[in-house]
């Protein structure tokens, strides 16, 4: 049994598809158009009795100069990216513990180590998620619950909440050694691998899911 919060986005749809093909039952609550608000505690009141995999995917970004960022915008980003993950995990804890070998996956961002300008709230919230993952690993590992964070690079499509810049992904692709942007299906396959046993020898991990874009610091156009 899997609970995929944020199942209707591009990444969420890929995760659901991969899990269903592998035989997982998916909590339908988060697949519907009238899905509840992920930032409200009451939205998690009717979770399945046993949960083998909890995936928290919702993400919100506000692109604005830090000095102009409003308190409300800061709170909105923190609520979606961080508070929702806390509420989902807390509510799911009894069902995760009942599984005996459960996995939690949340999504961070390469912005935590290589921040772009005008993304203060987003970067801060994702960095907090990495600490959140490690803290849960230490506390909940004794219940057979492993917690994982994917530090995600650029997907082949921009987030809905980020204004599209036609030059951004083109520039990222040029700076990526393989010229390959991350596909949602690739992330989904990794999540399945974790849930299917890969997480047994790992807990509290933060994995760079980025084909060396952030590592490629060579400043010249040639390699010599």
Cα radius of gyration rounded to whole Å, the chain: 18
For the chain, the three-class secondary structure string (H helix, E strand, C coil) is CEEEECCCCHHHHHHHHHHHHCCCCECHHHHCCCCCCCCCHHHHCCCCCCCCEEEECCCCCCCCCHHHCCHHHHHHHHHHHHHHHHHHHHHHHHHHHHHCCEEEEEEEEHHHCCCCCCCHHHHHHHHHHHHHHHHHHHHHHHHCEEEEEEEECCECCCCCCCCCCCCHHHHHHHHCCCCCCECHHHHHHHHHHHHCCHHHHCCCEEEEECCCCCCCCCCCCCCC
* Active-site residue, 122 included: yes
Q: Which of 122, 143, 190, 213 is catalytic?
A: 122
Cα 174 from Cα 39, distance rounded (Å): 37
Instruction: Specify whether the CB–CB gap between 126 and 81 falls below 8 A.
Output: yes
69 Cβ contact partners less than 8 Å away, ≥ 6 residues apart: 62, 120, 121
- Residues catalogued as catalytic: 122
């Amino acid at each position: 049994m899997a609970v995929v919060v944020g199942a209707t986005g591009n990444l969420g749809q890929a995760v659901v598809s991969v899990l269903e093909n592998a035989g997982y039952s998916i909590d339908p609550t988060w697949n519907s158009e009238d899905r509840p608000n992920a930032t409200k505690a009451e939205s998690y009141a009717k979770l399945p009795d046993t949960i083998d995999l909890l995936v928290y995917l919702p993400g919100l970004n506000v692109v604005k100069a830090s000095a102009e960022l409003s308190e409300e915008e800061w709170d909105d980003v923190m609520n979606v990216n961080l508070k929702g993950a806390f509420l989902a995990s807390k509510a799911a804890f009894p069902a995760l513990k009942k599984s005996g070998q459960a996995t939690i996956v949340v999504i961070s961002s390469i912005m935590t180590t290589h921040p772009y300008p005008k993304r203060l709230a987003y970067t801060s919230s994702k960095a907090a998620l990495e600490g959140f993952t490690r803290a849960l690993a230490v506390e909940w590992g004794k219940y057979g619950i492993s917690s994982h964070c994917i530090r995600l690079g650029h997907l082949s499509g921009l987030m809905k909440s980020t204004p599209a810049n036609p030059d951004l992904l083109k520039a990222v692709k040029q700076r990526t050694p393989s010229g390959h942007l991350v596909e949602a299906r690739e992330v989904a396959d990794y999540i399945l691998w974790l849930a299917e046993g890969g997480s047994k020898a790992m807990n509290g991990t933060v994995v760079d899911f980025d084909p060396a874009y952030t590592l490629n610091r060579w400043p010249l156009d040639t390699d010599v």
